[in-house]
Amino acid sequence: MIKGLEGINIAVSNPEQFVRFYSEQLGVPLVFEGHGAYNGAKLAFSREAPGVIVWSKENDDVATQGPTEFVFRSEDLDKTYEMLKFNGVDIQPPFLADWGGKELRCADPEGNSVLILEGAY
């Protein structure tokens, strides 16, 4: 029986760069460092919460292809924007979305889209 979502696997060219972007620049906790060179590392807000599990594209057994969009939430998108700018993220200011909440977008070093939301959808 399925009891929950562990996370989403993503294969990237440079796992260390990818993990550092999410953990150091975006502030997503690194809850598991992986099996060496950040291969199998887990980024999540707790060890038990769903997360992003990072693999090297050099692994033949990881079947992820194409760009991915990661969706996060924030209680204060304006403060989040200022923190990300301070951390060196190339990012545009938040904007009011058609659905009534605020959105903020950027891209990670692999070209994956990062969407951060404020407000209920």
Q: Looking at the structure, tell me whether residues 47 and 99 fall in a common domain.
A: no
Q: What pLDDT, on the 0 to 100 scale, is given for residue 91?
A: 93
Based on the domain organization, do 46 and 89 belong to the same domain? no
pLDDT at 78: 95
pLDDT at 2: 56
Side chain identity, residue 83: M
The structure tokens 């993990």 sit at 19
DSSP the chain: ------EEEEEES-HHHHHHIIIIIS---EEE--SSTTTTEEEESSTTS-EEEEEETT-TT----S--EEEEE-S-HHHHHHHHHHTT---PPPEE-TTSSEEEEEE-TTS-EEEEEES--
Domain boundary among 39, 60, 81: 60
User: Do 41 and 86 share a structural domain?
Assistant: no
Count of domains observed in the chain: 2
Are 44 and 86 in a shared domain? no
How confident is the model at residue 61, as a pLDDT? 58
Say how many Å lie between the first and final Cα of the chain, rounded.
29
The domain boundary, picked from 26, 42, 60, lies at: 60
Q: Are residues 55 and 23 in the same domain?
A: yes
Q: Dihedral through CA 93, CA 42, CA 55, CA 36, nearest 10?
A: 120
Same domain, 25 and 50: yes
pLDDT tens-digit map of 73-104: 888 999 999 999 999 999 999 999 877 889 99
Instruction: Determine the pLDDT at residue 63.
Output: 55
Do 40 and 20 belong to one domain?
yes
CA atoms of 39 and 121, how far apart (whole Å):
34
pLDDT of residue 6: 84
Q: Are residues 49 and 75 in the same domain?
A: no
Range of the domain at 31: 1-60
Q: Which domain CATH number covers 87?
A: 3.10.180.10
**pLDDT for the residue 99:** 79
Q: How far apart are CA 94 and CA 64, in angstroms?
A: 30
Could you tell me the pTM of the whole model?
0.74
Same-domain status, 56 and 85: no
Residues of the chain with pLDDT under 50: 1
User: Is 47 found in the same domain as 82?
Assistant: no
